[in-house]
Amino acid sequence: MTELSATATIEVPVDPATAFRIFTEEVDLWWVRGPINFFDAARATAMQLEPGVGGRFLEVYSLPDDVLVLGTITDWEPGVRFAYRSSVDDTETEITFAAEGDGTRVTVVQALVTGGSKAFYFWKNVIHWVPQWIARRSAAPSTPRELGRLAVALYYADPAAAARWLHTVFGLDSWTSIPAEGTTPSWIELNVGDCSLILFPRTDTRPPQHDHSTWIYVDDLDAHFAHTQQSGAKILSDIHQHGYRRYETEDLEGHHWTFAQARPTQ
């Protein structure tokens, strides 16, 4: 049975008018360009929100007129709220901006319309990109942040638990957010530099295959090895060198990982 609604909330350290402007005018800058963050990632070149009632929420492709209309704006009150009716599922979404201390609480409510049956509740994953953009926007280039051409997909029985473990033990981070205990996001992306590590649920009962390994270059291999070892991860080989320094370890569900020393210029 499809859930009737989904709510997500963030707090950002700017006033409501600024938060509204960043959310709407800079959507193409804070929207993470991961391989599974668009309806058609192979063609997407931009995200766009046209201001005012009747404006469109767009996934833009190569040509100016080649777009996917994600929704149409139904309410527009700068600094307070806006809402849109989805064109890709049977939901309505309202985003509100309320003063909270010295900042703003941004709340997204995505709800199934009466008689509707299809809902893509993606905002609970997407909204966390906004405060990460605000934290770096003063020093960031005014161009969208692109992911590298390498992406690795790993399959886990519990991707959220795996993401927390990989974050705590291996120090991997995310442009989005590390899922909290008790949450089960529909997709999880971790990031190593500009590359994406995508965690998916494993749908069969076979153990992870050991015919592959994820390689990550780190700045301080000795410190990374010490932290991994102290965190209780299974070490498959200590630090050794054969052209490059590396060690091998295993995560909580048996995937093999190789960590290697990065070059000074890498």
- Confidence band of 8 (pLDDT split at 50, 70, 90): very high
Distance, CA of 266 to CA of 215 (rounded, Å): 14
Domain map (residue ranges) of the chain = 5-136, 151-261
Residue predicted with more confidence, 41 or 79? 79
Mean per-residue pLDDT over the chain, rounded? 89
Residue with tokens 């932290």: 227
Q: Mean pLDDT check: name the lowest of 28-37, 91-100, 206-215.
A: 206-215
Residue predicted with more confidence, 13 or 196? 13
Q: Does domain 151-261 have CATH number 3.10.180.10?
A: yes
Section 47-58 average pLDDT: 97
- Confidence band of 145 (pLDDT split at 50, 70, 90): confident
User: Virtual CA dihedral for 119, 124, 125, 130, nearest 10 degrees?
Assistant: 130
Q: What is the pLDDT of residues 187-196, one digit of tens each?
A: 788 988 888 8
- Confidence band of 206 (pLDDT split at 50, 70, 90): low
Cβ(129)–Cβ(32) below 8 Å: yes
- β-strands 213-218, 256-261 pairing: parallel
Architecture of domain 5-136: 2-Layer Sandwich (3.30)
Q: Which of 30-39, 74-83, 138-147, 151-160 has the highest mean pLDDT?
A: 74-83
Strands of the 256-261 sheet, one edge to the other: 213-218, 256-261, 245-250, 234-241
What is the per-residue pLDDT for 211?
Answer: 65
pLDDT at 125 over 90: no
Distance, CA of 266 to CA of 249 (rounded, Å): 22
